[in-house]
Amino acid sequence: MQTLTGKVAIITGAGQGVGLGIAQALADAGAALTITGRDAHKLQTAAESLRGRGAQVLPHPADARKRSDANATVAATIERFGRLDILVNNAQSSVPGTLLEQLDDATIALTLESGLLGTIYHMQAALPHLKKQGGSIINLASREGIIGGAGFGIYAATKEAIRGLSRSAAREWGRYAIRVNVICPAALSPAAVKFFADNPGAEEHYNSATALGRMGDPLTDIGPVAVFLAGAASVYLTGQTLNADGGQTML
């Protein structure tokens, strides 16, 4: 595991699931962390678990859909730690299993605002600080966007928009030594567990379509990919998508 000692990271939506797994992996690599989420209780519990791993952690309740919250998160991070090196845009709300004909304005707004707009807001807020020494932005997308998953229309569109945004940012911000990459994870997050519980047979279908035959673990399978993208080993990698999905998607 490469070291991130002396680096400072913001991870949005880190109260549970993939966001927490990534936060744990970054903490184990030595990074100081600001973690955000809308549920203050979950965030405090996550922060305590991260401190138990020896990390410096700032839990900062925030709603990724609000530009003011993104600005406040970055400001609080700079005030606490004095710098920012890594931004992980993981926060995403959605209503999986919603067919296109069933989409209403509330579901469309929730998905787009929490994912695409939240990612833009945090990237813009972080940019002045990442410019100072370079850094890594890691945005979370999904195989559902790449393959066009049925029942995931607005979610798929949001995640593909995030990938397009990431490629543009990689070209615009490379001059500042800022790298922008994407992870498409497949992991047993609470949202995935609920989806499988609500859709009998879905887990077996996903596992059978996965070369490695299983869903990933947020910490041990997805976390190391984020550590790689955050650190010096990926210093010449930008504008790329890594499908950390056990072989569900092969391009």
**Which residues are part of the catalytic machinery?**
155
- C-alpha pair distances (Å), 51 with each of 30, 62, 88, 165: 12, 20, 19, 33
> Which two three-digit tokens encode residue 215?
């869903």
Contact 43, 74 (CB under 8 A): no
Q: How far apart are CA 66 and CA 32, in angstroms?
A: 24
Q: Work out whether the CA dihedral 80, 81, 82, 83 comes out positive or negative.
A: negative
Q: Distance between the two ends of the chain, CA-based, in angstroms?
A: 27
Count H helices and E strands in the chain, helices first: 10, 7
> Which two three-digit tokens encode residue 222?
């997805």
171 conformational bin, left if phi > 0, alpha if psi -120 to 50, beta if neither: alpha
